[in-house]
Structure formats: C-alpha cells, structure tokens
Amino acid sequence: MTNETANPRSIPFRVGLGHDTHRLADGGPLRIGGIDVPHDKHAVGHSDADVLLHAVTDALLGGAALGDIGEMFPNTDPANRGRDSAEMLGLAYD
C-alpha cells in the first residue's frame, strides 16, 4: 500500500540526515552556525569547518538525493579553501 493509497491527501516527503565532525586545533575562534564563538580551539577543515552548517547542508542534500557536501564541495577544489559554510548551504539550497 502506498502513502497515497493510505491517505489520498498525504504528500510524499523525503528525509535527510546530516552529520559532520572536525578535529580541533589550538587557536580560536570556533565557528558554529556562522557565528565565531570565542574559544582557545578552532575546527580544522578545508573550508571554514563550521560543523553545524555542514550537517545542515548534508541533511538538505541527502533529503534531495543529491549526494553529500563532500561531493558538491570537494576538498580537492582550491575554490573551497576557507569557503564560508553559509555560502555552501545557500548553493546547496539553490
């Protein structure tokens, strides 16, 4: 039985799951959700290493069956060096 058969007014939907981790290194600040948090550590990454925005971007791409953040913004592309994660989220959304 499909979702439409069970309830003709239901709308099919997709779910995406996002997860991101980065190691920490000395020197701050720590960027989370586009905000620089005063801290003695920072996340290490090719872009700005914002774990919250990376997880949201991964969830969005996964829900749309468009791969993940590493496929859309590979760390082998020099254009992504230090890239703002909010910009990456906006591009993934578009």
| pLDDT tens per residue, range 19-33 | 999 999 999 999 999
Straight-line distance from the first to the last Cα atom of the chain, in angstroms, rounded to the nearest whole number = 33
Q: Who contacts 78 (Cβ-Cβ below 8 Å, separation ≥6)?
A: none
**Domain spans, the chain:** 16-93
- Alpha helices, DSSP H, located in the chain: 3-6, 51-63, 69-72, 85-93
User: How many other C-beta atoms can be found within 10 angstroms of the C-beta atom of residue 69?
Assistant: 26
The CATH superfamily label for domain 16-93 reads 2-C-methyl-D-erythritol 2,4-cyclodiphosphate synthase (3.30.1330.50)
Share of the chain above pLDDT 90, in %: 82
Q: How many CA atoms lie within 13 A of 33 on its CB side?
A: 1
Average pLDDT of every residue of the chain: 90
Reported as a single tens digit per residue, the pLDDT across 53-74 is 999 999 999 999 999 999 999 9
- Report, as an integer, the average pLDDT of 76-88: 95
